[in-house]
Amino acid sequence: LVIFDKDGTLICFHSMWAPWIHQFVERLEADTQMSLGDKVYRLLGFDTQTQRFGPGLLAEATMFIIKERMVELLMQEGLESEEAVVDRCWQNCDATNEANLKSLGNLPDLFKTLKDWGIKTAICTADTRAGTLPALKKLGVDKLVDKIMCSDDHGSQPKPNPHNALRICEELNVSPERAIMVGDTSADTGLAKNAKLGTAIGVLSGVGSHKDLHEADYLLDSVENI
């Protein structure tokens, strides 16, 4: 069994989420009439100079947790009805926009090869199901994956909590020590260690550096090298 993270592992994190964060800040500042951009970018780990994300909230937390932290930020700024403000300004990332959805390899070929070898596959993501399924369909792998676990699924727990990985293993009838986790953040490698999976593979195609992924058993440039 190979369990893949999604953003930063299968698709480019930066091209997907940079347009989203700019649009969110634009809506937020228009709604509140306050200059909040720098604080939002800092909170979510976005570098406006490089237009890239680093390890942090957006790369590693669930949408629910990110919204909670945004509400806390607005409270600190003295805003009232902060939850309503976040709800008004929040929009899910457009997972079907071909300009933003950039595959990090020949994913259909990768998943077909694993299937031909009798290896099951799963995706474990901090994204919502509404943001995940359209992207996988667009990438042509939605019907090649044996199990998809999203942050808003019933009973889901955020990485690096081992729950989701263990649930995937149980439902696919694979012992954890015969499973591999592939991801681009310390939350992914931490998940593998906490669930006592057989192997943790870090990929440098997302937000994590060599230092961030020091817990990985193997470090690859991308899933193409698997």
Question: Does residue 56 sit in helix, strand or coil?
Answer: coil
Q: How many helices (H) and strands (E) does the chain have?
A: 9, 8
Question: Does residue 98 sit in helix, strand or coil?
Answer: coil
Residue 213: predicted pLDDT: 98
98-102, 157-161, 162-166: least confidently modelled range: 98-102
Token pair belonging to 59: 């790369």
pLDDT-based confidence at residue 74 (cuts at 50, 70, 90):
very high
**Is 166 part of any domain?**
yes
Domain residue limits at 219: 2-12+99-225
3-12, 87-96, 111-120: least confidently modelled range: 87-96
The β-bridge partners of 201 are 182, 218
| Prediction pTM value | 0.92
**Count of domains observed in the chain:** 2
Considering the domain architecture, whether residues 38 and 116 belong to the same structural domain is answered as no
Of 65, 28, 67, 61, residue with least CA distance to 45: 61
Arithmetic mean of pLDDT, 106-131: 97
Considering the domain architecture, whether residues 85 and 105 belong to the same structural domain is answered as no
Token pair belonging to 124: 């474990």
Arithmetic mean of pLDDT, 183-201: 98
